[in-house]
């Protein structure tokens, strides 16, 4: 696939809009992701982060604008080209999405068996190497139901990198994990990205963990990018939304209360 | 009053069009499944594994039910036939009831509640836990890898289960009629052999069970794939699978019987 030598951006999102039925999720989003970087897309739940990942993976088509991966518009690809592109991408889903009817070993071997003609001996070596990279070689015989949340996420990570993807996408990788597992996953994301020479996109609302490991952050709110910069720039940002989000404050532009009628009137109404 | 009538009509019309829309969607889904069936036939182990889950694991309930249905037929049949002095025709009554009707229908109903519900719940949960989405992102088509093997496993298992149900039922009828009540063993078997026609009775029974197999598994995989990705969505889909496929079996049975056995 041709790359874009002028910018060396792996992913370019150009004025993309997208909506489900009547609800507009993304409104003219533009961003670029440079090769080799670990980039976070942050924002509150429901602000369109996961939708953006699905657009990059070609699972959805933008209603306006263009998503380019390695310089080629994803929406314009044929079915075969999209399949070929996805083989170069890996995606870690929110809760791992391990195949529950297969052991950890078979989960990691899945793509190798589906997409390559490798012999079982070679697959065996590769699977054990991938599991070793996430520290779970010893658990290769276990079924997903026998794993803790953090272990399942690590096995899913090993499965994601099974075919050495050039672009790895993480959909809320820290959700529901204890602090230790969270730290482990964070470090693995960084180490694997650098070791594989890949590019990573992390969609998350876990500020503290993400700012520790990423190179660049895009902030989204209500379907638009409202701020971007390095973690240091965002920590010291005086933009009210970013400040509230990064420091987890109750007061700010993001309202604490769900829209409601007047409080006093509601209370009096129940007395009547 | 006028608005109530209009509301009622709008509601009725909305339900009718949404049912037709859903049927169309299900038909396109079936077509998609058939188009993507090549891979699972090239890798037959995928189907074999699902035959184990849908077919082999349903064996116990099918065989035990078949035995009891056959034994009840033996008792009831003898009670009626003996009034007309033709208790020797008990074998014919048991065998014809089973291979023509009860085998395919009861085995189909049991298959829908045992295997159909399991298929729907499994596919629905795979969808709810993003396993199908993950497969798609790995450039593996979930319809070819997950849906088609389960569909064909059901279509292959159903006639075999129905045949085993009927065989077990005949054995149950024999146990009660011959062993317990004392109907003449020779006439039990020989009259059965004379009266049961291969093409007219057995083959038609097999055709019925193949049709039921297609209907039940089609409904099961579609409901699972179409389920809302929540606990409530999956449980609702599982219930719909059992209800819809049971009704489909009974309705199809009436239509098939009308075509096959017209008193010729």
Q: Is residue A249 part of a domain?
A: yes
Comparing B111 with A252, the larger pLDDT belongs to B111
Report the alpha-carbon distance of residue A101 to residue A97 in Å, rounded. 11
Distance from CA of B139 to the nearest CA of A (A): 5
pLDDT of residue A1: 44
Q: How far is CA B236 from CA A267, B147, B228, B241, B242, in A?
A: 38, 19, 9, 9, 10
Task: Taking residues B36-60, report their average pLDDT.
Answer: 94
Domain that holds residue B61: 27-256
Domain count, chain B: 1
Confidence (pTM): 0.85
Answer yes or no: is A124 within a domain: no
| Residues contacting B219, CB < 8 A, separation 6+ | B26, B112, B116, B241, B244, B245, B248
Contact A85, B137 (CB under 8 A): no
Q: B112 lies in a domain? A: yes
A94 touches chain B (CB under 8 A): yes
Look up residue A88 and give its two tokens: 């170069």
Find all residues with CB under 8 Å of B44, minimum gap 6, and list them. none
Tell me the chain B residues in contact with residue A82 when contact means C-beta distances shorter than 8 Å.
Answer: 139
Tokens representing A199 are 């590019």
Kindly state the percentage of chain B with pLDDT values over 90.
91
**CA nearest neighbour of B121 among B14, B16, B223:** B223
DSSP of chain B: -HHHHHHHHHHHHHHHHHHHHHHHHHHHHHHHHHHT-HHHHHSHHHHHHHHHHHTGGGHHHHHHHHHHHHHHHHHHHHHHHGGGT-GGGHHHHHHHIIIIIIHHHHHHHHHIIIIIHHHHHHHHHHHHTTHHHHHHHTT--HIIIIIHHHHHHHHHHHHHHHHHHHHHHHHHHHIIIIIII---HHHHHHHHHHH--IIIIIIHHHHHHHHHHHHHHHHHHHHHHHS-SSHHHHHHHHHHHHHHHHHHHHHHHHHHHHHH-S--
Residue A39's region, left for phi above 0, alpha for psi from -120 to 50, else beta, is beta
pLDDT at res. A3: 45
Higher confidence at residue B251 or residue A55? B251
Residue A53 forms part of a structural domain:
yes
**What range defines the domain where residue A249 resides?**
1-88+205-272
Task: Evaluate if residue B121 carries a pLDDT over 60.
Answer: yes
User: What is the pairing mode between strands A9-20 and A23-34?
Assistant: antiparallel
Closest Cα in chain A, distance from residue B144 (Å): 12
Say which DSSP state A248 is in: T
Instruction: Check B137 against A114: CB less than 8 A apart.
Output: no
In a domain, B33, yes or no: yes
In chain A, the residue whose alpha carbon lies closest to the alpha carbon of B131 is A97
State mean pLDDT over B34-54. 94
What pLDDT score does B231 carry? 93
Per-residue model confidence as pLDDT tens for chain A (272 residues): 444 444 588 899 999 888 887 788 888 889 999 999 999 998 877 778 888 888 898 888 888 899 999 888 888 888 888 888 888 899 998 888 999 999 999 999 999 998 889 999 999 999 999 999 888 999 999 999 999 888 999 999 999 999 999 999 999 888 888 888 888 889 989 998 999 899 999 998 888 888 888 999 998 888 888 888 898 888 888 887 777 877 777 666 666 777 788 888 888 876 65
Beta pairing partners, A13 = A31, A67
Tokens of A128: 């054990």
In a domain, A112, yes or no: no
Identify the pLDDT of residue B202: 94
In this structure, is residue A153 part of a structural domain? no
Determine the 3-state secondary structure of A223 from DSSP. Answer: coil
Which letter does DSSP use for residue A138 in this model? G
Lowest mean pLDDT among A248-252, B14-18, B151-155, B156-160: A248-252
Q: Is the pLDDT of residue B67 over 70?
A: yes
Residue in the block written with tokens 């390695």? A70
- Tell me the shortest Cα–Cα distance from B254 to chain A, in angstroms: 38
CA pair distance A239, A253, nearest whole angstrom? 10
* A121 in any annotated domain: no
The mean per-residue pLDDT over the stretch B32-41 comes to 94
* Chain A residues close to B138, C-beta within 8 Å: 86-87, 110-111, 114
Residues 6+ apart with CB under 8 A from B160: B55
Give the burial class of A123: count Cβ atoms within 10 A of its Cβ; 0-12 exposed, 13-18 middle, 19 or more buried.
Answer: middle
Domain count, chain A: 1
What angle separates helix A179-196 from helix A149-160, to the nearest 10 degrees?
10
Element (H, E) at A195: helix A179-196
Closest residue to A97, CB basis, from B133, B140, B145:
B133
Please state, in angstroms and rounded to a whole number, the distance separating the CA atoms of residues A65 and B186.
82
What pLDDT score does A71 carry? 86
The reported pLDDT for the residue numbered B219 is 97
Render pLDDT for B166-206 as a digit per residue (tens, 0 to 9): 999 999 999 999 999 999 999 999 999 999 999 889 999 99
- Contact B184/B81 with Cβ under 8 angstroms? no
CA proximity to A184, closest of A148, A219, A218: A148
Pairs of CB atoms within 8 A across A/B: 47
Find out whether A223 and A49 touch, Cβ atoms under 8 Å: no
CA distances, B126 to each of A98, A145, A216, B66 (Å): 9, 14, 34, 33
User: What pLDDT does residue B154 have?
Assistant: 96
Q: Which residues pair with A19 in a beta bridge?
A: A24
pLDDT digits (tens, 9 = 90+) for A208-220: 888 888 999 998 8
Answer yes or no: is pLDDT of B59 > 90.
yes
Pairwise CA distance, residues A173 & A44, whole Å? 15
CA nearest B39 in A: which residue? A114
Q: What is the CATH number of the domain that holds A66?
A: 3.40.50.300
Q: Mean pLDDT across the stretch B233-241?
A: 96
Q: Does A14 reside within a domain?
A: yes
Quick one: pLDDT at residue A129? 93
ipTM over 0.85: no
Interface residues of B toward A, Cβ cutoff 8 Å, are 122, 125-126, 129-131, 133-140, 145
CA distance A97 to chain B (A): 5
The answer to whether the Cβ–Cβ distance between B129 and A95 falls below 8 Å is: yes
Contacts of A167 in chain B (CB under 8 A): none
Domain presence at residue B64: yes
Query: Distance from CA of residue B192 to its chain's centroid?
Result: 26
The most confident of the ranges B134-148, B153-167, B190-204 is: B153-167
Interatomic CA distance for residues A194 and A190, integer angstroms: 6
> With bands split at pLDDT 50, 70 and 90, how would you rate the model's confidence at B264?
low
* pLDDT reported for residue A7: 58
For residue A83, give the nearest of B122, B131, B139 by CB distance: B139
């Amino acid at each position: 696939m041709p790359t874009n030598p002028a910018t060396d951006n792996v992913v370019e999102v150009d004025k993309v809009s997208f909506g489900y039925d009547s609800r507009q999720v993304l409104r003219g989003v533009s961003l670029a992701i440079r090769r080799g970087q670990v980039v976070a897309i942050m924002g509150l739940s429901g602000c369109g982060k996961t939708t953006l990942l699905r657009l990059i993976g070609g699972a959805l088509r933008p209603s306006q604008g263009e998503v380019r991966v390695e310089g080629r518009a994803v929406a314009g690809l044929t079915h075969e080209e999209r399949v070929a592109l996805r083989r170069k991408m890996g995606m870690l889903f929110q809760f791992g999405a391990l195949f529950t009817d297969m052991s950890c070993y078979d989960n990691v071997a899945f793509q190798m068996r589906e997409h390559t003609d490798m012999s079982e001996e070679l697959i065996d070596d590769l699977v054990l190497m991938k599991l070793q990279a996430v520290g779970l070689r010893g658990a290769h015989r276990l079924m997903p139901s026998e794993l803790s949340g953090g272990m399942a996420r690590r096995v899913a990570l090993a499965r994601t990198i099974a075919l050495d993807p050039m672009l790895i996408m993480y959909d809320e990788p820290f959700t529901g994990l204890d602090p230790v597992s969270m730290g482990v996953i964070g470090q693995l994301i960084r180490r694997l990205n650098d070791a594989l020479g890949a590019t990573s996109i992390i969609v998350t609302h876990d500020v503290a963990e993400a700012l520790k490991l990423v190179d660049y952050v895009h902030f989204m709110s209500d379907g638009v990018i409202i701020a971007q910069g390095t973690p240091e720039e965002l920590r010291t940002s005086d933009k009210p939304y970013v400040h509230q989000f990064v420091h987890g404050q109750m007061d700010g532009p993001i309202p604490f209360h769900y829209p409601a009628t007047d409080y006093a009137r509601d209370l009096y109404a129940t007395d009547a | 009053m006028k608005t109530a009538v209009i509301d009622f009509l709008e509601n009725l019309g909305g339900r009718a069009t949404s049912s037709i829309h859903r049927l169309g969607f299900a038909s396109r889904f079936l077509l998609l499944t058939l188009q993507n069936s090549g891979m699972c036939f090239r890798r037959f182990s995928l189907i074999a594994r699902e035959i184990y889950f849908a077919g082999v694991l349903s064996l116990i309930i099918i065989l035990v039910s078949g035995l009891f249905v056959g034994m009840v037929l033996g008792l009831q049949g003898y009670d009626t036939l003996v009034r007309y002095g033709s208790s020797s025709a008990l074998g014919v009554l048991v065998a014809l009831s089973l291979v023509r009707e009860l085998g395919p229908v009861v085995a189909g109903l049991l298959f829908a509640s045992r295997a159909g519900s399991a298929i729907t719940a499994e596919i629905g949960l795979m969808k709810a836990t993003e396993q199908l989405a993950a497969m798609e992102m790995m450039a593996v088509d979930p319809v070819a890898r997950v849906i088609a093997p389960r569909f064909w496993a059901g279509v292959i298992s159903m006639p075999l289960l129905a045949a085993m149900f009927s065989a077990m039922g005949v054995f149950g009828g024999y146990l009660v009629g011959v062993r317990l009540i004392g109907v003449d063993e020779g006439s039990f078997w020989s009259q059965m052999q004379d009266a049961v026609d291969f093409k007219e009775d057995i083959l038609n029974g097999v055709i019925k069970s193949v049709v039921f197999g297609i209907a039940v598994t089609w409904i099961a995989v579609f409901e699972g794939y179409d389920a809302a990705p929540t606990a409530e969505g999956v449980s609702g889909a599982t219930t719909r699978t059992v209800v819809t496929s049971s009704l489909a079996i009974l309705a199809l049975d009436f239509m098939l019987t009308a075509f096959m056995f017209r008193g010729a």
